[in-house]
């Protein structure tokens, strides 16, 4: 599907379309709205507990109200940004009861789904329910390999977010690099779903215009950036984590993709959300170095409690970032990030064309 079709779906956007990842603990309505105002597609932070009367539901409606206010929209207008859900949580069975009325009322332009429980496989029913709305949003499904991409299209996805293993944060354990992933996903769409209009966004390791230009050359119609937006001025990432991101170099050696990044938390919630199908990439600290040197998980969990203060322990884990982190060295407002990256991508493409 052409980028022009994506802009038809999201008419306020400018090409190449740049989105922020819907990162919990980073994104807020101001950041998402500024991405949209700059011609990108902003996403609010993802939620996962959608049981009736949950705190997450309250936060979601508050974020939607605030976003509409920031963007200066009327209640009847489509909300020019997206919302997102982690779909492996047990409460996902409440989607039609609790989320469909919210989507019908606030009319977000997009809904992003990620990390289903593979035994439950809820996306087909969710997408079917969304498509029945009078003003149905475009559905983004984040995937990490071609098999998952194929399943997402069968479920009814409008856009595949093809996340490569260079990404920070959570991703498929059995994933692939974005350089091979996007072209193979595009080939799969052309061969198996020729009659369908399905967009492709690239994600994972993209932090500047050169990365965006490369993604477009691979066939992506848009890109998602996460690590670059963690240090946006509007980001709610704690200042000490922003400092760690900005100081990091050589993303290949300073980050680590492993289930260890969740297991060290020793949290039942992490097990519930991610299970055996997903892991994550974060910035390496002394705790990771000890693990790589042979210390056991149990030894390190004990060490975090006994050998460090709570503040020190926080600094040693959970600073999620991708391999592009070494190229992230300035903190700008979210809207300026979108504009800078978009113009850099255009200039990169023009320079390449001039060489032919």
Kindly list the catalytic residues: 170
Contacts of 269 (CB under 8 A, 6+ apart): none
What tokens were used for 126? 């969710």
**Local structure of 73: helix, strand or coil:** coil
Contact present, 295 and 301 (Cβ < 8 Å): no
DSSP code per residue over 278-346: EEEEEE--HHHHHHHTT--HHHHHHHHHHTS-HHHHHHHS--B--GGGGG------HHHHHHHHHHHHH
Give the bridge partners for 223, in sequence order: 18, 202
Kindly compute the dihedral angle of the four CA atoms of residues 78, 21, 186, 341, in this order, to the nearest 10 degrees: 90
Contact present, 181 and 162 (Cβ < 8 Å): yes
Q: How many residues in the chain?
A: 356
Contacts of 323 (CB under 8 A, 6+ apart): 166, 168, 205, 251, 252, 255, 281
Give the bridge partners for 83, in sequence order: 111
Contacts of 49 (CB under 8 A, 6+ apart): 55, 56, 57, 89, 91
CA pair distance 99, 51, nearest whole angstrom: 9
DSSP code per residue over 3-50: HHHHHHHSTT--SSEEEE---TTT--HHHHHHHHHTTSBEEPPPB---
CA pair distance 307, 328, nearest whole angstrom: 31
Give the bridge partners for 110, in sequence order: 82, 138
Contacts of 181 (CB under 8 A, 6+ apart): 144, 145, 146, 162, 164, 175
């Amino acid at each position: 599907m052409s980028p022009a079709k994506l802009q038809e779906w999201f008419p306020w956007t400018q090409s190449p379309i740049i989105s922020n990842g819907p990162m919990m603990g980073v994104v807020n309505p101001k950041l998402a709205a500024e991405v949209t105002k700059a011609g990108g597609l902003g996403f609010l932070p993802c939620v996962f507990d959608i049981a009736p009367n949950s705190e997450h539901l309250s936060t979601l409606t508050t974020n939607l109200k605030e976003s509409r206010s920031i963007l200066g929209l009327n209640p009847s207008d489509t909300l020019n940004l997206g919302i997102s859900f982690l779909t492996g949580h047990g409460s996902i069975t409440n989607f039609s009861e609790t989320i469909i009325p919210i989507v019908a009322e606030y009319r977000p332009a997009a809904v992003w789904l990620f990390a289903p429980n593979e035994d439950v496989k809820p996306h087909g029913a969710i997408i079917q329910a969304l498509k029945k709305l009078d003003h149905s949003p475009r559905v983004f499904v984040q995937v990490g390999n071609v098999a998952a991409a194929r399943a997402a299209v069968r479920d009814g996805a409008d856009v595949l977010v093809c996340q490569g293993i260079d990404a920070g944060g959570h991703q498929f354990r059995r994933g692939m690099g974005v350089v091979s992933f996007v072209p193979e996903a595009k080939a799969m769409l052309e061969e198996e779903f020729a009659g369908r209009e399905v967009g492709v966004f690239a994600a994972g390791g993209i932090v500047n215009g050169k990365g965006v230009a490369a993604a477009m050359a691979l066939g992506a119609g848009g890109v998602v950036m996460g690590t670059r937006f963690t240090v946006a001025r509007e980001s709610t990432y704690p200042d000490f984590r922003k400092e760690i991101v900005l100081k990091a170099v050589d993303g290949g050696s300073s980050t680590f993709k492993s289930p260890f990044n969740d297991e060290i938390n020793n949290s039942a919630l992490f097990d519930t959300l991610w299970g055996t199908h997903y892991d994550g990439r974060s910035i390496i600290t002394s705790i990771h170095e000890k693990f790589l040197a042979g210390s056991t998980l149990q030894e390190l969990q004990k060490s975090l409690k006994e050998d460090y203060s709570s503040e020190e322990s926080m600094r040693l884990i959970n600073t999620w970032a991708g391999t592009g982190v070494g190229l992230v060295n300035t903190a700008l407002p979210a809207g300026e990030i979108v504009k800078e990256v978009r113009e850099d991508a255009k200039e990169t493409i023009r320079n390449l064309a001039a060489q032919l």
